[in-house]
Amino acid sequence: MLTLRDTFTLAWTKLRSRKLWTSLFLTLEILLFAAVLVFTAGVRGFTEGLETFNSQGLNGKYLVTAANVRSNPDLETDPDVMDLAEQLYQAALTEHQALAEQLGLPYSPDSEIAPTEYIDGQRALVVYSPYAQQAINQRMSDYLLADQADLEAALQSYDYTAIYLQQQLNADGSVVNLQNGQEDLSRYSSSSGNQPVQTFSGLYVLDDDLYADYLFTDLELDPDAIPVVLSVSDAEALLGLSSLSANASSTEKLQHFTELRAAAAGQIVAACYRNSASQEQIYTALQILDQIDRYQDEPGFTSPSLIYALPTTPCGPVTIQSDTRTAAELEQADRQRAYQTALGTYTEPFQQLLRFQIVGLIPTDTQPASANDLLSTIQSLGGVSIVTPLISTSYYDAHAADLAAVYTEPDLSLSYLGLDRQYLIEFPSADTARRFINEQSCQPRGDLSQGCATPDHLFLLTSDNNHSLVISDLSQTFTTAIIIAVAVVLIITVVLVALTVVRSIASDRKEIAIFRAIGFRRSHVLQVYLAYALLLTAIIIVGALLVAFLLGGLLDPWLSSWLTDFLRATFLTTAPLSAQLFTPDPLLYLLLCALMLLIPLLVTLPAIVLKTRESIISGLKYE
Amino acid sequence: MAKSMLAMGAPNSLDAILSANKLAKSYGSTRILSDATLSVAPGEFLAIVGPSGSGKSTLLHILGCVERPDAGDLTLNGQDLRRLRPAALANLRNRTLGFVFQFFYFEPHLTVAKNLEVPLMPLRVPPRDRQTRVRAAAELVGIADQLRQKPATLSGGQLQRAAIARALINRPKILLADEPTGNLDRANTEHILDLLLRIKREQHTALIVVTHDEQVAARADRVLHMSDGRLTVC
Ligand SMILES: Nc1ncnc2c1ncn2[C@@H]1O[C@H](COP(=O)(O)OP(=O)(O)O)[C@@H](O)[C@H]1O
Ligand SMILES: [Mg+2]
C-alpha cells in the first residue's frame, strides 16, 4: 500500500492532465448532482409544507366515507315495478272515488298522477308519481340495509379512530333566504322567473369534533339562531361577495378569504320556511289580487267571495281580508277539507322565520381543472368535499323537536343511494384507510349501477372526503421521481467517471509501465487510479453541495414565502403556518453522497483492474 | 562451459551480482536472443554494444526484470528470477535494480524532487528520510538547484541526470542504462560518463550500459558485443 498522501499526490496529477475534458465533465456532473440535491430538498420542503397545511382541519384526517349504496336505477325500467305501481294506482282510484262519493264531492281521476306513461310506444315509469314511488319503495325494502353495527363488524380487524354519522335533513317545503330582511313574494307568482336562493333547504348533521378547525373562535352565539357551518362558496353567495377566478394570485385569494371571514363570522342570516300549503296560499292570494287588479274597472266585475291579504311581516302568514262566501260555498270547502283529511293529504299552512348564525367556514372542494395538471391537482387539495350547511350533532340532539317542524328525514330516493346517512370513519394512517377501502368496499365487488352493496360488502367506501391519501400518493410520486432522477444521475456519473478513468489509464500506458519498472506493484497503480476516481466523485459531491446550498440559500427566502402564500391560499387557512421550500434532509444527503461516492468507485474498480493488467514491457514500448 | 565464460572475461559466477545463462527470446518467429550468457561482478562497469536492432534493449529489459525470457536462467543478487512472485519481483526492481531508460519519463505535474521520490513511495519511506535521500541523489548528479522545478524546465542533460538520480535513489546494487547518452552532445556525454564512473566508484554499483557510443564503451571495464542473439567479447 502506498501512503494516502502519495496516493493522492499521484492521483492529483491525473486530474491536472486532460484539463478541458475534466473540467467540462466535472461541471456537468456538479450541475446534475446539484440539481438532484436541490430537487430532493425542494420536494421535501414542498411535501412537508403540504403536509403541515394539510394537517389542519378535515384534510389532515384519514377519512373514509361509507355509504350503504342500494340504489338501483334499473327499477325505473323494471316492468314488475310498473305493474305494482299501476296496481297501487288503480286501488287508490277506487278508494278515492268511493270516498268522494261518500262526501258528496265530484271526483275526477285526472287529479291523480298516473305512475306510468307511454313514450314512443314504450311504457315508462313516471318517477314523481306517488304510486311509482310507493312501488319503488316496496321493492327497495328487499335490498340490503346496513347500519352502524354492520359497519363496526366490517371494521373489526382494522385500527380506526372514530366513526362519525353524517345525516341529511331536508326541509319539507321551501327555505328561501331573505333579501335585505325582506321576503321576495313575487317568486310565488307564476310569471316570475326568479330563482330564489335556498341555501338552507337541506342541512347536514355531523359531529363538530370533525370540523372544529373550521369554526370561528370567540363567537357570541345567538341562542335563537341555528349555528351553521357554510362552504366558502355558499358564504360568498349569501354575503354577496363575488368569488375569485381560479387563476387569481395567492395574495388576492388570501385577501379575499380574510374579507370573507370577517364578513361571515357570527353573521346572522334569515330565511323563510313555508310548507307547501303556505306556498299555495300565497300563490292563490297573489292570483286573486292580480285578477282584481286587472278586471275591477271593467263593467260587470264582481269581487271574489274570498280575498286574502299578503303577509305584512317577513315570513308572516296569509290572512283573510274579506270572506263573503255563502253557506253552500263554505260547506263545499269543508267537504273538500274532510276529503283531504281522510286521505291524509291535508296540511295546515305553516311558515316560520328561521335565523342561522354562521359559525364556521369550510373551503369548498374544487375539482382539478385537469387530472394531469400537477399544479391544479395540488390547488384542489385545499378544498374539502364535505357537504354543507353543517349543523353539529349536539345541536341537533338538543333541538331535534324544533328542527322537525321544518326539516324531516330525506326523500327515500336519496336513502337508497346511501346519501341520507353516511358514515365517516377516521383512521390513524393512510395505509389502514387504503387497506380498508381495498378490502371492504362493495366496489368493484358489486356493480355500482346495480346497487353496489353485497351481503359481504355492504358499503361503498371512498376516500374523497379528505386529501391525506392524495398527498401520500403525491409524495409517493415525488419519491419515485427522485429515485429515477438519482438513478439517472448515478448512471451518467458511473459512465463518465469510468470513462474518464479508463481513458486516463489508456493514455498513461507508458507512465504506468515506467512506474512499475521502478518498483510499483500493480496494486499500487490500482490504488492511484481508484484515488483518482474518488477525487473525481469527491469534487462532484463537494461542488454539488456548494452549488445546491448556495442556490438554495439564495433563492429560498423568496421561494419559501411564495410557497407559504401558495399553501395558505390553497388551504384557505389563517393558522400561523409557514413552509420552507429548500429543506435538505441530512440523512438523505448523506445517503446520496455515499451512493455518489461508492457506486462509481465500485463500478470503476473492475475497469481499472482490467485496464492495468497490461505487461510492463508492452507499456514501455508504447509510443 | 567454464572455459567459455572465462574466455568472455566474466567473473566467477559465485561472486557475480548478476548472472544470466543462455537467455533466449523471440518475438513471434523472429529470434532476438538465442544464447545470451553474461555475468557481472559488484561494482563492475559492463558495456554492451551492437548494431541497432540486434536485441540490446531486449536483453536489458530481461535483466531489468520487466520482461521474461523464453528460456535460460537469470540470477540477481543470489535470487533465481523464475522463482519470484510478482510482488517480490516488483520489490527487486525497486530496491536492487536501478533503471535508466532510453527515453526519460517524468510526471510533468510533479516537481523534480517529487519525481525522484517515486521509487521511495512503495517503501513508505517517511518524508524526512525522503528529503535527505532526494537531496543526496540530486547533489550526486548535480541537479540540486532544479529540485523545486517542473521537469519541463530542465535541459536534456539535466533530465538525464535526474533520471539517473531517480534510478539511484534506493541505492541499487545494479544500475541498468539503455543508451544513456544517446540524445546528448559530446560534452554532456562526458559529464554523464564521469557521473556513472563516480557512482561505480563511490557506491560500488555495478553498471550495465547499452550503448553504441565508442566514447562510452572506451571507459567500461568490459565490453560485450551483441550479434546474432549472442554476446561475444570484443
Ligand atoms: N514487441 C516486439 N515485437 C516484435 N518485435 C520486436 C518487439 N520488440 C522488439 N522487437 C524487435 O526485436 C529486435 C531487437 O530490438 P531491440 O532489442 O530494441 O534492439 P536494439 O536495442 O539492439 O536496437 C528489433 O528488430 C525489433 O524490431
Ligand atoms: Mg535499443
Residue minimizing CA distance to atom 24 of ligand 1: B53
- Our mutation pick for probing the ligand 1 site, out of B23, B31, B54, B58, counting the most ligand atoms within 8 A of Cβ, is B58
Contact between B67 and A514 using a beta-carbon 8 Å cutoff: no
Position A245 scores a pLDDT of 73
For residue range A233-265, what is the model confidence (pLDDT) as tens digits? 889 888 888 777 767 788 888 888 889 999 999
Q: Give me the helices (H) in A508-521, please.
A: 509-517
- B143 near A543, Cβ under 8 Å? no
Distance separating alpha carbons of residues A202 and A169, to the nearest angstrom? 6
Identify whether B172 is preceded by a cis peptide bond (ω within 30 of 0): no
Amino acid at A284: T
Which carries the bigger pLDDT value, residue B150 or residue A128? Answer: B150
Chain B contact set for A532 (CB, 8 A): none
Give dist(CA A264, CA A196) in Å, integer: 21
Q: Which candidate from A13, A510, A617 shows the least CB-CB separation from B61?
A: A617
CA B58 to centroid of ligand 2, rounded, Å: 7
Longest dimension (CA), chain A: 138
Interface of B with A (CB under 8 A): 61, 64, 66-67, 86-87, 90-91, 93-95, 98-99, 101, 105, 107-110, 114, 118-119, 121-122, 124, 166-167, 170
Task: Report the gap between the CA of A30 and the closest CA in chain B (Å).
Answer: 25
Instruction: Give the span between the Cα atoms of B197 and A40, in whole angstroms.
Output: 68
Task: Read off the pLDDT of residues A401-430 as tens digits, 9 standing for 90 and up.
Answer: 889 889 887 665 556 666 678 899 999 988
Question: From the CA of B8, how far away is ligand 1's center (Å)?
Answer: 25
A18 touches chain B (CB under 8 A): no
Please indicate whether residue B211, judged by its CB atom, sits closer than 6 Å to ligand 1: no
Identify the helix (H) or strand (E) that includes residue A378.
helix A374-380
In chain A, the domains with their CATH numbers are 4-60+472-621 (no CATH), 62-71+143-165+410-465 (3.30.70.330), 73-142 (no CATH), 173-186+194-275+353-405 (no CATH), 276-343 (no CATH)
Residue A19 touches partner B, C-beta closer than 8 Å: no
Confidence of residue A103 (pLDDT cuts 50, 70, 90): confident
Is residue B169 within 8 A of residue B134, CB to CB? The reply is: yes
Mean pLDDT, rounded, for A331-339: 86
- DSSP letters of chain B? -HHHHHHTTPPPTTT-SEEEEEEEEEETTEEEEEEEEEEE-TT-EEEEE--TTSSHHHHHHHHTTSS--SEEEEEETTEEGGG--HHHHHHHHHHTEEEE-SS----TTS-HHHHHHGGGGGGT--HHHHHHHHHHHHHHHT-GGGTTS-GGGS-HHHHHHHHHHHHHTT--SEEEEESTTTT--HHHHHHHHHHHHHHHHHH--EEEEE---HHHHTTSSEEEEEETTEEEE-
CB distance B109–A13 less than 8 Å?
Answer: yes
Q: Which residue has the higher pLDDT, A318 or A380?
A: A318
**Which residues fall within 8 angstroms of residue B209, CB to CB, at 6 or more apart?**
B45, B46, B47, B48, B176, B177, B180, B196, B216, B220
Where are chain B's structural domains? 18-233
What are the pLDDT tens digits along chain B (234 aa)? 333 444 455 566 557 899 999 999 999 999 999 989 999 999 999 999 999 899 999 999 999 999 999 999 999 988 998 888 989 999 999 999 999 988 878 999 999 999 999 999 999 999 999 999 999 999 999 999 999 999 999 998 899 999 999 999 999 999 999 998 887 888 888 988 999 999 999 989 999 999 988 888 999 999 999 988 888 887
Tens of pLDDT along A13-23? 998 888 888 89
Task: Report the complex ipTM.
Answer: 0.92
Atom in ligand 1 nearest the alpha carbon of residue B179: 21
For chain A, what is the mean pLDDT? 86
| A340-379 tens-digit pLDDT | 888 877 888 999 999 999 999 988 766 554 556 677 777 7
pLDDT at residue A47, rounded to an integer: 87
Q: Which residues of B touch A513 (CB under 8 A)?
A: 66
Per the model's pLDDT, the better-predicted residue between A380 and A602 turns out to be A602
Which segment of A204-218, A289-303, B115-129 scores lowest on mean pLDDT?
Answer: A289-303
Q: Is A9 on the interface with B (CB under 8 A)?
A: yes
Q: Do A16 and B109 touch (CB under 8 A)?
A: yes
Query: Looking at this protein, which amino acid is placed at residue A143?
Result: Y
Instruction: Quickly count: other Cβ atoms within 10 Å of residue A207's Cβ.
Output: 18
- The domain made up of B18-233 has a fold known as Rossmann fold (3.40.50)
Contact between A519 and B110 using a beta-carbon 8 Å cutoff:
no
Share of chain A above pLDDT 90, in %: 34
Chain A residues within 8 A of B63 when measuring between CB atoms: none
- Please give the residue of chain A at the shortest CA–CA distance from B108: A13
Give B6→chain A minimum CA distance, Å: 32
